[in-house]
Amino acid sequence: MALRGGTRFTVPFEAVFPHGAVFVPDSIAEAQDFNEATRQRTPSKDKVTGERVWQCRVMDMDPELGSRSREVSIKILSNVQPVPPVGPFQQVEFENLTVTPYVGSNGRLAYSFRATGIVAPKTLTETRGKAS
* Residue 1 falls inside a structural domain: no
Residue whose C-alpha is closest to residue 29's, from 55, 5, 47? 55
pLDDT per position as a tens digit, 43-56 = 999 999 999 999 99
Q: What is the rounded distance in angstroms from the CA atom of residue 61 to the CA atom of residue 17?
A: 7
Computed over every residue of the chain, the mean pLDDT equals 88
* Residue 2 falls inside a structural domain: no
Of the candidate ranges 9-13, 75-79, 103-107, 112-116, the one whose mean pLDDT is the lowest: 103-107
* Residue 87 falls inside a structural domain: yes
* Residue 98 falls inside a structural domain: yes
* Residue 79 falls inside a structural domain: yes
What is the number of domains present in the chain? 1
CA angle 93, 64, 60 (to 5 degrees): 25
Please, which pLDDT band fits residue 1 given cuts at 50, 70 and 90?
very low
- Containing structural domain, residue 46: 10-130
pLDDT per position as a tens digit, 115-130 = 999 999 975 445 445 5
> Residue 120 sits in a domain of what CATH number?
2.40.50
Strands 71-77 and 109-115: parallel
* Residue 113 falls inside a structural domain: yes
